[in-house]
Amino acid sequence: MNGATSNERLMRFLSATPEQQASIDRILEGRREPEAPRGPLLMQIKDAAGLLGVHRATIWRLVKAGRLGTVELLGSVRVRRADVEALAGSHHAQGHRGTGKAVAK
pLDDT at 3: 67
| Predicted model pTM | 0.53
pLDDT, one tens digit for every residue, the chain (105 residues): 456 788 888 888 888 888 888 888 888 888 776 666 678 899 999 999 999 999 999 999 999 999 999 999 899 999 999 999 888 877 444 444 444 444 443
- Which of helix, strand or coil describes residue 79? strand
Cβ atoms of 23 and 8 within 8 Å: the answer is no
pLDDT at 23: 83
The one-character DSSP state at 3 is T
Q: Where are the domains of the chain?
A: 1-34, 42-104
Cβ atoms of 98 and 87 within 8 Å: the answer is no
pLDDT at 30: 83
How many CB atoms are located within 10 Å of the residue 4 CB? 11
Taking the C-alpha atoms of residue 59 and residue 31, their distance in angstroms, rounded to an integer, is 34
pLDDT at 56: 96
pLDDT at 96: 44
